[in-house]
Amino acid sequence: IKPSQETPLVFLPLWVRCFECCIKCLGGVPYASLVATILCFSGVALFCGCGHVALTGTVTILETHFSKVTSDHAMLTDVIQLMQYVIYGIASFFFLYGIILLAEGFYTTSAVKELHSEFKTTICGRCISGMFVFLTYILGVAWLGVFGFSAVPVFLFYNMWSTCAAMRSPMFNLTTNIESICVDVRQYGIIPWNATPGKACGSTLGDICNTSEFYLSYHLYIVACAGAGATVIALLIYMMATTYNFAVLKFKSREDCCTKF
C-alpha cells in the first residue's frame, strides 16, 4: 500500500538528503554552456597566444630576409603591432563574455527547470536572454571571418614550406635548377614592390625554411587557426543553448506571468 503523501525530506536519512540535494544541484548545471565556455577559453587562448608569437616571428623573417630597408615595411610593422594590441582586447573580452554567458546559463537553466522557487522568469530576464542570443549570433558571424583570416598566413607559409620540400627532392634537383625557384612575398601585398630584395631563391629560400623562426611561426599559425575554429564551435554551442533557453523562457512566461525584477 502506497502512502497518500510522500515522505518529508526532513525524516529521511542524512545520506539520502545529501544525495537528493546533489542531484538537484547537478540538474541546474548548464552542461552545454559549460562545455562551450571551456572550449571558448581554450580556443581564444590558443588563437591569441600563438597568434601573438607568430606575428613577432613573421616580422623577424621579413626584416631579415625580404625587406632589409626599415622604411619599406614600416606600415606592416605598425599593422602587426596594432593586431597584437587587438589580440589583448579579444582575450580580455572573451574571458568576461564567457563568464557572463555561463552565469546566464545557470540562471536560465534553473528558471527553465524551476529548481528553485525564487528563480522565476521575468520580463527583464527574458530581455537579457534575448540580448545574449543576438550578441552571440553577431560574434559567431564575426569569428567565422576571423577563422578565415587566420587561414591566410597558414596558406602563405605552407606555400614556402612546400616549395622548400620540393627543392630537397632528389628528382627535382636532377630536372630543375634550384636557383631558378623563388618565393616573392611582394605578390601577396605584404610588402611594397620596391622592397629589396623582396624575394628569396634557391639556397637562400632553403636557409629561410630551416630557421627556427620560420618553423615556429608556421606551426603557431596552424595552432592559432585551430584555436579560432574551436572558438567558432564554442559560439555555435552558445547559440543553440541561448536560443533554446530563450524560447523556453518565452513559452513559460505565458503560464507564469511574473513581472517583478
Q: DSSP assignment of 216-227, as one string?
A: HHHHHHHHHHHH
Average of pLDDT values for 205-228? 91
Residues in CB range of 33: below 8 A, 6 or more apart: 101, 102, 104, 105, 106, 109, 237, 238, 241
Most confident of 65-69, 145-149, 188-192: 145-149
Q: What is the pTM of this model?
A: 0.79
Residue 245 pLDDT = 77
At 191, which amino acid appears? I
Tell me the pLDDT tens digit for each residue of 204-214: 888 888 888 89
Average of pLDDT values for 119-126? 64
Tell me the domain boundaries of the chain.
33-152+213-252
- Residue 167, classed as helix, strand or coil, is helix
Share of the chain above pLDDT 90, in %: 25
Q: What single DSSP character describes residue 131? A: H
Residue 228 pLDDT = 94
Average of pLDDT values for 83-97? 90
Residue 77 pLDDT = 85
Angle (nearest 5°) at CA 28 between 4 and 119:
80
Residues in CB range of 119: below 8 A, 6 or more apart: 107, 110, 111
